[in-house]
Amino acid sequence: MKNVVFYHAGCSVCVDAEQKMLDLLDKKAVNLEVVHFGEAKERIAEAEKAGVKSVPALCVDDAVLHLNFGASMDDVKQSLGVDA
Amino acid sequence: MKNVVFYHAGCSVCVDAEQKMLDLLDKKAVNLEVVHFGEAKERIAEAEKAGVKSVPALCVDDAVLHLNFGASMDDVKQSLGVDA
């Protein structure tokens, strides 16, 4: 199983990418977790450490795939009132 | 079946995204085509019409997911000697 984390911030670009992308994944081969930063601010540091620069992003094991561009991590932190 | 086209130009960002991404797809639910512009210049116009702005990109039915950023379509066309 591959561990995949979809990080997003709830914006329309994120939600759209989530729907398009997650439908395509092989649920039998992928251990998927969806993280909404608005509901889990404490995961922001982990995402940045993994290399997430913008949302929505898909982390596949140790690689990051940025999908389209919803917002930068700086914008996410600012809108959620999280210190850099 | 969903029709999915992965457009790329053979650069390292593209190849890496291809490997990470395509492994995750549900082959039973996805009708996948991989298009390398270097080997199929005639598909560039089709991709641009579908909304591809940069490669690598994944077209899912009528939606485009840009994955990370390898090169803009202008750079692709320039490097392949294709007129805009």
Q: B77, B83 in Cβ contact below 8 A?
A: yes
From A23, A63, A68, residue closest to B20, measured CB to CB: A63
The pLDDT tens digits of the residues spanning A51-81 come to 999 999 999 988 899 998 889 999 999 999 9
Q: Compare all CA atoms of chain B with the CA of A64 and give the residue at the minimum distance.
A: B68
Neighbour-count burial for B17-52, b at 16+ CB within 10 Å, e otherwise? bbebbbebbbeeebebeebbbeeeeebbeebeeeeb
Number of CB pairs, chain A paired with chain B, less than 8 A apart: 56
pTM of the complete model: 0.88
B6 contacts in A (CB within 8 Å)?
Answer: none
> What average pLDDT does the structure give for chain A?
91
Task: Output the pLDDT for position A9.
Answer: 93
For each successive 10 residues of chain B (84 residues), what is the average pLDDT? 92 85 90 95 95 94 89 93 84
Q: What is the mean pLDDT of residues A6-15?
A: 89
Is B2 within 8 Å of A21 when comparing Cβ atoms?
no
Is A30 within 8 Å of B16 when comparing Cβ atoms?
no
Task: Output the pLDDT for position B12.
Answer: 85
B66 contacts in A (CB within 8 Å)?
Answer: 67-69
Position A84 pLDDT exceeds 70: no
Name every residue whose Cβ is closer than 8 Å to that of residue B73 and which is 6 or more positions away in sequence.
Answer: B44, B47, B48, B52, B53, B54, B55
Q: What is the mean pLDDT of residues A38-48?
A: 95
